[in-house]
Structure formats: C-alpha cells, structure tokens
Chain A
Amino acid sequence: MVIKEQFIVTKRYRSISMLLMAVGILAIIALYIAHGSKSDPKEQARFWGSLLQNSVYFLLLVNTAMFFICSTILSWGGWQMSFRRVTEAISACVPVIGVICAAILFAIVFGNNHEIYRWADARVVNEDEIIQFKSGFLNKGFFVGWTIFTIGSWALIGWKMRKLSHSLDEKPLESVEAGKKYMWKTTVWSAIYIVVFALTVLSSTPWLWLMSIDAHWFSTMYSWYTFGSTYVAGIALITLFVVFLKNNDYLELTNQEHLHDLGKFIFAFSIFWAYLWFDQFMLIWYANIPEETTYFRPRGYGIYSGIFWLMFIINFVGPILILMSRGSKRNYATITFVSISMVFGHWLDFFQMVFPGPNPDKVPMILYDFGVALGFAGLIMYVTGRALSRSPLIIRNHPLIKESIIHHT
C-alpha cells in the first residue's frame, strides 16, 4: 500500500477558506454598521455579543481536540493514532483563536458598554448587593488574569504536546527503553494538561466568560455543560476533517472502524450533553426559586423557546436516532450529516447562552452571527490545513501505531 504522507493544501481548499474568512469579515462589518455603530448600548451589545459567542465557542471547540488527545493518552488508547495528526492540527488553532477571543473579551470588559458584563460597571456594582457579594470572583483583575492563564496554558501545553509528537518524525525511538521513556513523558504532559483543563473549562472559565452575562444567576453545572457542548462538537469537527481527508485519498490507515468509534463518541456525548442540559433545567424548574428561574424565563418560555426546542432536536433527538444503528456510524454520508448538524446545533446552544442576557425581549437576527461563524470556520480550515501540511499525516514511529492499524471495533 502506498501511503500519501504529506497533505498538500490545494488551491481550491485555500481559496474556500479565504472566501469563508472574507464572509466572516463582511458579516462583522455589516453587523457593526447595523448595530455596533449605534449609540444605543443595547444595539452595541448586539454587536459584541455576536463576537463573544463565536470566538468563545470556536475557541472551546478547537481546544477539545487537545483534550481528546490527552484523555486518550492517559487511558492508553491507541486506536486514534492513525488520525492523531488531524486532532493535533485542529488544536493548532488554539493560539490563533485564543488571541482573537482574548482581545474581544478584554474589549468587552474594558470598553464603555456594560450591557453584556454588567458586573464590570462600577456604578451597577455599587447598587447591587448580589454582584457585590460575588465581586471576589467577578472583578476585572481576576477576569484578565484567569483569561490569560487559561488561554496561555492551553496554547503552551498544546504546543508542547505537538512538539513531543513531531519529535518522533525525525528521531525514531531506538529501543524499548526509549519508547517507555517517551510514553511516560507524554503521559506526564497530558496529565498536566488534563489538570489545567479541569481547572479551566471544567470548572471556572465558562463562569467568567459566559455565565457572568447573567450576573445574578448561577449554576454549578454550567461549566460541565459547556464542556459537554463543545466536546461533542469538537469530536464532530475531528470527524469532519477525517472524512474530508479520506475523501481526498489521504489517511489510508484510517478506516470505517475508526469512523465507527468517532461515531460512538458523538452518540455518547450527545446523550451526555442532553443529560446535563436537562438536569440544569430540571433542578431549577423543580425548586422554582425566582433567583434561578430568571435564566430560563426568556430561554425556555419566552421568545427564545423556538431555538431552545430546535437545539434539543438537533443536539439530542437527531443524533440518538440517526447514530443508533451500527451501519449509520460507519457510513460517511450519515456521519458527515450528523457532524455538521452537531457543530451547528451547539453553536445555537452558545447563542442561547449569550444573547438572552443582554437582549431578553427580542431575538437578534441570527444571519449576521451565522456569517461570523462562517468566518471562524474558514479560519479553522486555513490554520488546520496549514498545520496538517507541515508534518507527515502518519505518526510512523509511535509505539502504538500498530494498535491503530489493526484496530477493530
């Protein structure tokens, strides 16, 4: 079997990604003209909310690729090795989108418009006892420090993991001893990453970035829920890239068995997402405390309820029914369809997290946001393609590569 080890970015691929990015920039400009340049703070919040939703969503989305790598390393999984370079390439987007996301977050926190982050406005905090009580956590200093720590550590450890993986290309492992040493080293670094991940996405960062939009409201499940949302969409993104490369005659060692396992991941984590989504709702619905129910008033019962139920169908009912049978997990068409709908559905989920806070009375026109999302999709395509073309597609010298070649579900 001849193995095409080198991914070549075609002209068509590059121009499509450029086109998508141009659409994104146009959407941002249009959004600025229509809303951002107005003097009404609510209108300005519409502009910043769109940037916040898209940048945070796509940052968390690409970051789960590195979580996928590290969790499979810690569990000694070898099956993903045949497409490991794809996940690595996706995680290479973290520094790029991270910088964009940090810039937008800081612009919102330090700007004059406090419709999104009300806790950043000193006058509001002075009159609001609930926010005063939370000010040990919700303050500008902590927000900036934690954001820098979060994005910086993701980017740094991700870079280290990619470097460890690429070091095998030039220098094969000489002996079993060297292999053991290498495996130990990757295990330690991925363990560090998992700890950082647990401290950021799994517990605190979504509280700062997203939950603080509704500063009075709180949910301890929120970060878990955000993670569930982005992880299933991140697996869907990996699947999309794997299918794309397979269709272009790359990744010869990846076959339906690997696709089947990715399908299982999407299936399982869409149920996980639904579990958290419903639990967060049910506990609040059951207790019926006004402080907590304010969150679901616009989302589940108000004008946003259409998106609420659409999201439920796209993110839970769809995948559970479509991906239940073995055949559909191994079929390129169904898995691609479900993957695209997952990425879109969880993007809607983030739309729900951001907009009902500053705009509880009116659903913003979603087409602008969709344009911005296309821009980010183009950016991910561009950066991932570039990262893929820089290194061989197969980790030829990895100790576990054989396990992936003979993988069988």
Chain B
Amino acid sequence: MAVKKFITGCFDDEAVLFPAVKQVRRKGYKIHDIFTPFPIHGLDKAMGLRDTSLHVAGFIYGITGTATALGFITWALTYDWPINFGGKPFFSLPAWIPITFELTVLFSAVGMVWTFCWLCQLAPFVKKDHFNPRSTDDLFVMALECTDKTSEAESISFLQSLGAKDVQVQHKETEWWWGRYDKDRKVFEQKDEKVH
C-alpha cells in the first residue's frame, strides 16, 4: 500500500481539457491519470501514453490456441486413437481447420478479457480509491502526482488558471486492495482539504 499526495482538478469540457493537458505536460507536472465517464478519442495520445500491449498478448494467446488445437487433434487422431472417417487419411488437415480457428478465437478472446481485467485491476472484491465520484458521471478528473518539490499553492493556482474547477489536494491509495470500503476506513482517514 502506498498512499500518495495528489492535486485533482475537474473539467467539464473536452475543449478545455485538451489544452490543459498540453500545458500541464509542458510545465513538467506528472499526470497520474485522467478519469472520464466515457472514452475520449485522442486523450491517450495527448497524455503521451504508450500503446497498450494488450494486442501483443492477444496474438500470443491466439497462437497458443492454434498450437493447442492442432497439437491435440493431431495427437488424438493420428497417434492415440486413429479413426477412419469416410476413407480420409488420419492426418486430414482441412477438417481440423474449423476447430483450430475456433480455439484460436476462444483463447485470444478469453485471454484478452482476463489480461484486460488484470491490467485494469478489475476483479470481484478488488477495491480502488476514487478521486472524485463525479468522474463516473459528468466530469473529467485530472490527478497530478505531487513530489516533495511540488509547490501546492502554485500548482493549484496553475490548474485553476487552466479552467479546472473544484481543485483539491487529496491523499489517495494508488494500489488496489481486497476488502470492503466500509470496513476499510484507513485509506479515507487521510487529509482531504478543499481549496477555493
């Protein structure tokens, strides 16, 4: 568990958010993340995030599925239990292609869903801290990570000058934990002061 200090600002307009992201990055602040109620096209690029490696994982899962299907059917139908189907050779590849295709799709789809959940830290009973519940409703919430050298007052006024509303200093848990919000009060007992 690592509790860190953040400065959060809320935006309600994409046209304000994008220049703000640009300015914040130019100033050298570290953007922890931006939480939005829906996907915003081009935000990842504006934030300078690297491409996800989810598709590489998907490719590897797919290849695994292909190999599994071909390997198992070949072993079963040519070595372990050869059966004569309508006079076809035991090793009759065309008949196996549909199964191979299905298993490729199945492996890559299921594997990618699991990997996606892993990367997003989504699982039953896994809890994450929220910066602002309105990021699930109507606001884009930008969280700047503070270091020892960050001047609070300066960064607050900077965010406000960029059009952010409801700027707050928050101490938040960055990792996930097992448990329940109501039982686990510890992470919410940190300072959470509001600035106007």
Contact = CB atoms under 8 A, between A and B. Distances in A.
Interface of A: 278, 281-282, 285-286, 288, 324-326, 408
A282 B94 contact: yes
A286 B98 CA distance: 13
Contacts of B42: 408
Contacts of A325: 55
| A interface majority secondary structure | helix
A275 to B, nearest CB: 9
A237 B56 CA distance: 29
Given A408-B41, A408-B42, A286 B94 contact: yes
| B interface majority secondary structure | helix
B51 interface: yes
B51 A286 contact: no
B105 to A, nearest CB: 11
Contact of B97 (A278, A288, A324, A326): A278
Contacts of A285: 94
B112 to A, nearest CB: 14
B84 to A, nearest CB: 14
Contacts of B97: 278, 282
Contacts of B51: 326
Contacts of B41: 408
B94 A281 contact: yes
The 9 closest A-B pairs by CB, nearest first: A408-B41, A282-B94, A285-B94, A408-B42, A278-B97, A286-B95, A326-B51, A282-B97, A324-B59
A325 B42 CA distance: 19
Contacts of A324: 59
Interface in B86-136: 86, 94-95, 97-98
Contacts of A281: 94
6 contacts: A278-B94, A282-B95, A285-B94, A286-B95, A288-B86, A408-B41
B94 A326 contact: no
A299 B142 CA distance: 62
A91 to B, nearest CB: 30
A193 B86 CA distance: 45
A326 B95 contact: no
A326 B86 contact: no
Given A285-B94, A326-B55, 11 more contacts: A278-B94, A278-B97, A281-B94, A282-B94, A282-B95, A282-B97, A286-B94, A286-B95, A288-B86, A325-B55, A326-B51
A325 B54 CA distance: 11
Nearest to A283: B94
Nearest to A408: B41
Contacts of B59: 324
B72 to A, nearest CB: 20
Contacts of A278: 94, 97
